[in-house]
Amino acid sequence: MTAICAIGLGANLGDPEAMMERAINLLRLHEGLSVSDLSSTWYTEPVGGPEGQGWYYNRVALVVSELEAIPLLRALLALEVALGRVRAERWGPRLIDLDLLFRAQEIIEAEELTLPHPRMHERGFVLQPLAEVAPDWVHPVKGLSVTEMLARLPKDGPVVQKLPII
């Protein structure tokens, strides 16, 4: 069954903007996926992970997917590997990160995947770009729209700022 999905992209090593563009191009070329919208790039303070790592560049892609959730997750993980991602430490610096944020209104709790993403409602670096492309999507567990979740974030949380278009 075809569904609208949101994929969070993040990177803070090498040339993050170029890496995200490469990832988006690979998403566009992947059979069963069609990128329907892209957020701006947001520059964000690291959340968790080792001290001293660089700030992240983040975007969200809306994708129409013919793939079910777990095959889509596996495809995203394979794209990360194809782009050179090595998982060295949790929340550590990375060349690319592709997170499946949601697949329509599906609720999944499996060993391999939890949907919607279990921490998306707490993260400005997810909600800010998501608000550009899907402000009215309603979290099927929280019952709140992206706009409402964003408004509930603490004002003194990590810095999230939109990069200017050059």
- Greatest Cα-to-Cα distance within the chain, rounded to the nearest angstrom: 43
Residue 139 is predicted with a pLDDT of 98
Tokens of 11: 């990177």
pLDDT of the residue at 98: 96
Whole-angstrom distance, CA of residue 93 vs CA of residue 46 = 9
- The list of the chain residues with pLDDT below 50 reads none
pLDDT of residue 109: 96
pLDDT at res. 67: 97
Tell me if 138 sits within 8 A of 147, measured CB to CB. no
Give the phi and the psi of residue 135 in degrees, each rounded to 5. -65, -25
Place of tokens 């998403």: 27
Cα–Cα dist 147/128, whole Å = 9
The residues spanned by each domain of the chain are 3-162
Q: What does the pLDDT look like over 41-75, one tens digit per residue?
A: 999 988 877 888 889 999 999 999 999 999 999 99
pLDDT at 45: 87
Q: What is the pLDDT at residue 91?
A: 66
13 Cα distance to chain centroid:
16
Compute the Cα dihedral for 5, 35, 42, 57 and give only its sign. Answer: positive
**Contact yes or no for 138/132 (Cβ under 8 A):** no
* Active-site residue set: 85, 94, 97, 99
Beta bridge partners of 61: 7, 38
Helices (H), the chain: 16-29, 69-82, 124-133, 146-151
Q: Could you tell me if 140 and 149 are in contact, meaning their C-beta atoms sit under 8 angstroms apart?
A: no
d(CA 149, CA 17): 26
CATH of segment(s) 3-162 = 3.30.70.560
Q: What's the pLDDT at 31? A: 95
Strand partners for 38: 61
